[in-house]
Amino acid sequence: MKSYLITDPKYYGSDAETLRRSLQTVLTLHHPDFALFRDKQTSCYPDLARTFIETCQNHEVEKIVLHGDPLLAHRFGANGIHLTSHQFASIAKAKSLGLYVIISTHTQMEVLMAENLGADAVTYSPIFFSPNKGEPKGLEDLKEIVDKMIIPIFALGGITTQEQINAVEACGAYGFASIRYFIP
Give me the CATH code for the 2-182 domain, please.
3.20.20.70
Cβ atoms of 11 and 22 within 8 Å: the answer is: yes
Show pLDDT as tens, one digit a residue, over the chain (184 residues).
Answer: 999 999 999 999 999 999 999 999 999 999 999 999 999 888 899 999 999 999 999 999 999 999 999 999 999 999 999 999 999 999 999 999 999 999 999 999 999 999 999 999 999 999 999 887 789 999 999 999 999 999 999 999 999 999 999 999 999 999 999 999 999 8
Q: What share of the chain is helix, strand, coil (3-state, %, to 5)?
A: 45, 20, 35
Residues linked to residue 36 through DSSP beta bridges, in sequence order: 6, 65
This prediction has a pTM of 0.96
